[in-house]
Amino acid sequence: MSSSKGDVASKTPLRLGVAGLGTVGAGLAILLRDNADIITKRAGRPIEITAVAARDKTRDRGIDLSALTWHSNAVDLASDPNVDVVVELIGGSEGTARALVEAALKAGKAVVTANKALLAVHGDSLARLSAANNAPLLFEAAVAGGIPAIKTVREGLAADRLLSIGGILNGTCNYILTAMRETGRDFSDVLAEAQELGYAEADPSTDVDGIDAAHKLTILASLAFGQPVQFDSVHVEGIRSIGALDLTFARTLGYRIKLLGLARQSDRGVEARVAPCLVPEATPIAQVDGVFNAVIAEGTFVGRLMVEGRGAGAGPTASAVAADIIDIARGNTVPVWGTDVATLKATQSRPASEWHGAFYLRLSVADRAGVIADITAILRDCGVSLSSMIQHPSARQAQDVPLVLVTHPTDESAMQAARQRIAALDVVSAEPVLIRIEDF
């Protein structure tokens, strides 16, 4: 027989200890209060916060939490007898966040976290702790906010052999590149605007240098391939070198520029990188603009699929955290990387020098005879074949003009060698901008 609403509400509540009451932590508390009726129904029992750990007890968070147990040391949540599930929303791969998660798992308590850095750097050891203590570790909110990226890859595609995984994994960078394309402004100007709007941190390096996206890609790749991918093996580039001129040239060529995280599996190992890429304007990934994220997976049976949505913010992230909590209440949990830890082994990384693809190369060159001949001779010597070339004297900067070269697919090592030799020419006045082309 099915239980009535009253029967469900009368069941023993699942008690949460929440570490971190910032944007997401406060958002979670408000969500659990405002949607208590549907959450109780879907979880099969009430869910309530019984204890919290945060630095400022007096801060107005939009909800009254004064009746809860407050811990000055977040790690104490792991030993609190009135806490069934520890929710870690502190962030960071080390320090209190790591100590709390490890302590909770050792105590046999389920953990829900939104901490992408922690999972990317210590995911293998945490998976083993989780298994050894029969303590679930769930992290839907660690990748792409409210997009169910983790469940899609780990559970929805569990029967398929995935060949690649990735997408637009950082909303800050996507907002900046979108605004640069639409307004013609340069990186520094748009970054300042993003900071004013709250889309970028005061120190934006984790976002704009690609580190945040690399954390998320590490998690997605580990799930997709059923093996922990080492964060240090991910090749990482940011968007600081991209100029408004590159967005203009990309449009002329029929592309848009996106910061992509991409991981591919082959018999030579896993190729994982975060870098700006040119993608054809007509493809779905090119249409994902502003602060939105998108995750693309490709499998042998499912083919290619894409999920899109808001990748950050209190609402989307709190919703993802709550979804994990409901799974725990229902007893619906799976191994951290979707497979038994006994089968886990380190993934072999494919060297960047072996990657293969087409490239966009923008140069700032002196406007004089023989320049193009010198550059094409270097490309020829390095075994790089040209597909097209664009030169716009009207875009002259000082005494130099921009020159854009698009190559046929070639080895990464050959392209990098050509780039270094071209940069050393006395007719080249600035560091060449090299961007990979991805044909989605």
Spatial distance between the Cα atoms of 205 and 275, rounded to a whole number of angstroms:
14
Rounding to the nearest 10 degrees, give the CA dihedral for residues 100, 103, 105, 110.
Answer: -50
Give Cβ neighbours of residue 205 (< 8 Å, ≥ 6 apart). 211
pLDDT value at residue 1? 37
Token pair in block for residue 281: 């304007």
Which are the contacts of 29, defined by CB distance < 8 A and separation ≥ 6?
18, 21, 49, 61, 63, 65
- Closest to 28 in 3D by CA, of 5, 70, 61, 67: 61
DSSP category for residue 329: H
Residue 153 CA to residue 305 CA, distance in Å, equals 11
Tokens encoding 54:
């945060």
What's the confidence (pLDDT) of residue 113?
A: 96
Q: Which residues pair with 188 in a beta bridge?
A: none
| CA–CA distance, 184 with 181 (Å, rounded to integer) | 6
State yes or no: is 216 an active-site residue.
Answer: yes
The Cα-based distances of 356 to 77, 231, 239, 385, 411 in angstroms read 49, 21, 21, 13, 4
Separation of alpha carbons 253 and 388, rounded Å: 9
Distance CA 91, CA 144 (A): 15
Q: How far is CA 313 from CA 49, 223, 231, in A?
A: 21, 24, 24
DSSP conformational letter for 376: H
Scored b (16 or more CB within 10 A) or e, 90-126 reads bbebeebbbebbbbbbebebbbbbbbbbbbbbbbbeb
Query: What is the per-residue pLDDT for 341?
Result: 85
pTM of this structure:
0.91
Please give the C-alpha separations between residue 33 and each of 82, 141, 190, in angstroms, as whole numbers.
19, 19, 37
Query: Phi-psi region for residue 223, left (φ > 0), alpha (ψ -120 to 50) or beta?
Result: alpha
Catalytic residue chosen out of the listed positions 109, 116, 216, 258:
216
> What is the C-alpha radius of gyration for the chain, rounded to an integer number of angstroms?
24
Each residue's pLDDT, cut to its tens digit, for the chain (440 residues) gives: 344 455 676 689 999 999 999 889 999 999 999 999 999 999 999 999 999 998 888 788 888 888 899 999 999 999 999 999 999 999 999 999 999 999 999 999 999 999 999 999 999 999 999 999 999 999 999 998 888 999 999 999 999 999 999 999 999 999 999 999 999 999 999 999 999 988 888 999 999 999 999 999 999 999 999 888 889 999 999 999 999 999 999 999 999 999 999 999 877 788 899 999 999 999 999 999 999 999 999 999 999 999 998 877 788 899 999 999 999 999 988 899 988 888 877 777 777 777 889 999 999 988 888 889 999 999 999 999 999 999 865 555 557 889 999 999 999 999 999 999 999 999 898 899 999 999 87
**Tokens describing residue 216:** 């998320």
User: Cα dist. 24→198, 312, 315 in Å?
Assistant: 14, 9, 8
Closest CA to 162 of 94, 233, 89, 225: 225
What distance in Å separates the CA atoms of residue 439 and residue 352, rounded to the nearest whole number? 19
Whether 306 and 289 have beta carbons less than 8 Å apart is answered as no
Torsions phi, psi for 390 (to 5 deg): -130, 130
> Residue holding tokens 């380190």?
346
Please tell me what DSSP assigns to residue 267. T
Q: What is the pLDDT of residue 259?
A: 97
